[in-house]
Each structure stands twice: as structure tokens, then as C-alpha cells.
């Protein structure tokens, strides 16, 4: 294939991809654009104690759920990547289930399973966030560990390193970028969850719940400033975490 044909192919795919990029960006830019002409309502939202408390609740619960997802998900990702065992396909299927279950159904299932022990509590919010986000950690960890050359692990073992030492000194550093990416995606998924949280724990209110509450009670104009704050917080934290992961990956 000559260069002109390759360029045509690339331009075609770039054009198709641009449609998707524009589709994602347009609502985001519209949200911020409309809010710019109404700064007063944004400043009012920053003084709203209900909104500030909801943002604190969201940050607290999402960070805890992401930490738990990493602690519980990385070991399972390692086993799925490095070991063959009976029922492995079933385990992988179970890991992927939370991605396809409707949000309201997740809330109902958790309420039926744990009853009033999680109703209207931080524990309930964290459990919801963990349920809907842990798949990202497990799958990203699995992919990261699959990329680790087994020969490197064998060499380390032949030099007398224990399995746990090989894991922490060889496998984990190589798979770190994938694991960290899974953690970022898990955090983002936790922050975005609303349906299941409203079923399990309407109180204490998170930012996601407050956005829906203000929209239902006061309309689009009242909910927009909170949506802008939550979007700005998410984008800022996402960019910061991505930059941090890049630095840590280079160091590793």
C-alpha cells in the first residue's frame, strides 16, 4: 500500500473518531459554557452547606471504596493472570457481572443481602461503590500481570527469592501502571454512581444524590451549578491522578 492510500485510511478513521470525541465534549462544554454566564448561582452553591457536605461525603466514600477495591482486587487479578484452576471462567464471569447489572438492581440486591445494617449509612454507600467499581481493578490488574514476562519471575525464584518477594519486587512494579489505571477507573465509577446509592443510602447525602434531588425539586437551573462543581472536581482529580501515575510508572 502506498503512502497516499495509507493517509486516506488514517484520515477516514480520524474523521470517524472525531465524531465520537465531539459527541463526548459537546455536552461537557455546554454545561460549563452555560454556567459561565451565571456565576452567581455557582458561588451560591459553594456556600450551600448541603452541597459542601455532600461533596465531602462523596470524596470520603469513593476513596475508601477504591482502597478496598485495590486491596481485594489486585490479588484476584494476579491469580486470574498467572494461575489455571477449575472454575476460572466462572470466576471471571462473576467479576464482570457488576458491569452489566442495572444500578437500581444493585441497590435492591445489597439491601436484600445486608438489610438494615447498610441502610442510610456510610457503610452502605461504600459497599455500593465497591460493588460497581471493583471489576475495573480486577480486570486491569489481570491485564497488567499478564504482561509480566514469566521468565523474569522464574529468574528471581531461581536466585532464591520467595513468591511474595517476587510479587512485590518483580510482578507488581511491572504491572503497576495497569493496576493504577484500574484504581483511577474504579474511583471514577464510584463517584459517578447514583442509582444504587439512592436505593441503599439516600442519607448521608452524596453529591450525586444532591444533584438528582435539586433537579427533581427545583429544576435544571438549580442542579446545574452542583453538576459543574462535581464535574470540575472529577476532571481535576482524574487529571491529577493520571499525572501522578505517569510519574510513578516512570520511577518504577
Tell me the mean pLDDT in the region 231-247.
78
Choose among 215, 208, 171: nearest CA to 190. Answer: 208
Q: Which residues contact 161 (CB under 8 A, 6 or more apart)?
A: 169, 170
pLDDT, tens only, 81-98: 988 889 889 999 999 999
Choose among 188, 179, 177: nearest CA to 238. Answer: 188
Angle at 153 between CA 152 and CA 157, to 5 degrees: 120
Q: Which three cell numbers stand for residue 242?
A: 493520571
- Assess if CATH 1.10.3720.10 describes domain 48-251: yes
- Quick check: 1 pLDDT over 70? no
pLDDT, tens only, 218-230: 888 888 888 888 8
Residue bearing cell 472529577: 234
CA-CA-CA-CA torsion sign (58, 46, 214, 226): negative
Query: What residue spans define the domains of the chain?
Result: 48-251
Q: Which three cell numbers stand for residue 114?
A: 445486608
Q: Which residues contact 203 (CB under 8 A, 6 or more apart)?
A: 120
**Measured distance CA(245)–CA(176) in Å, rounded:** 9
- Quick check: 4 pLDDT over 60? no
Cβ–Cβ under 8 Å, residues 131 and 196 = yes
pLDDT, tens only, 156-174: 888 888 888 888 888 888 8
pLDDT band at 248 (very low <50, low <70, confident <90, very high): low
Q: Which three cell numbers stand for residue 193?
A: 454512581
pLDDT, tens only, 109-160: 999 999 878 888 999 999 999 999 999 999 999 999 998 888 888 888 888 8
H or E element that contains 12: helix 3-36
pLDDT on residue 148: 87
Q: Which three cell numbers stand for residue 196?
A: 444504587
pLDDT on residue 23: 93
**Measured distance CA(129)–CA(148) in Å, rounded:** 29
Q: What is the pTM of this model?
A: 0.84
Amino acid at each position: 500500500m502506498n503512502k497516499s492510500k495509507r493517509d486516506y485510511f488514517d484520515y477516514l478513521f480520524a474523521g470517524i473518531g472525531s465524531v465520537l470525541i465531539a459527541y463526548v465534549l459537546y455536552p461537557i462544554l455546554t454545561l460549563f459554557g452555560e454556567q459561565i454566564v451565571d456565576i452567581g448561582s455557582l458561588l451560591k452553591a459553594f456556600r450551600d452547606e448541603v452541597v459542601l457536605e455532600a461533596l465531602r461525603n462523596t470524596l470520603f466514600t469513593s476513596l475508601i471504596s477504591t482502597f478496598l477495591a485495590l486491596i481485594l482486587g489486585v490479588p484476584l487479578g494476579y491469580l486470574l493472570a498467572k494461575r489455571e484452576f477449575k472454575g476460572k471462567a466462572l470466576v471471571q464471569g462473576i467479576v464482570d457481572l457488576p458491569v452489566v447489572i442495572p444500578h437500581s438492581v444493585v441497590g435492591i440486591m445489597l439491601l436484600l443481602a445486608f438489610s438494615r445494617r447498610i441502610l442510610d449509612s456510610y457503610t452502605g454507600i461504600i459497599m455500593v461503590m465497591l460493588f460497581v467499581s471493583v471489576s475495573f481493578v480486577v480486570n486491569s490488574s489481570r491485564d497488567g500481570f499478564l504482561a509480566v514476562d514469566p521468565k523474569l519471575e522464574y529468574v528471581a525464584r531461581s536466585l532464591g527469592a520467595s513468591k511474595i518477594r517476587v510479587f512485590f519486587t518483580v510482578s507488581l512494579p511491572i504491572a503497576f501502571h495497569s493496576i493504577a489505571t484500574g484504581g483511577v477507573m474504579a474511583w471514577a465509577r464510584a463517584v459517578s454512581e447514583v442509582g444504587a446509592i439512592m436505593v441503599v443510602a439516600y442519607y448521608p447525602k452524596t453529591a450525586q444524590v444532591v444533584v438528582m434531588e435539586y433537579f427533581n425539586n427545583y429544576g435544571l437551573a438549580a442542579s446545574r451549578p452542583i453538576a459543574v462543581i462535581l464535574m470540575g472536581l472529577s476532571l481535576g482529580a482524574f487529571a491529577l491522578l493520571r499525572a501522578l501515575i505517569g510519574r510513578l510508572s516512570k520511577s518504577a
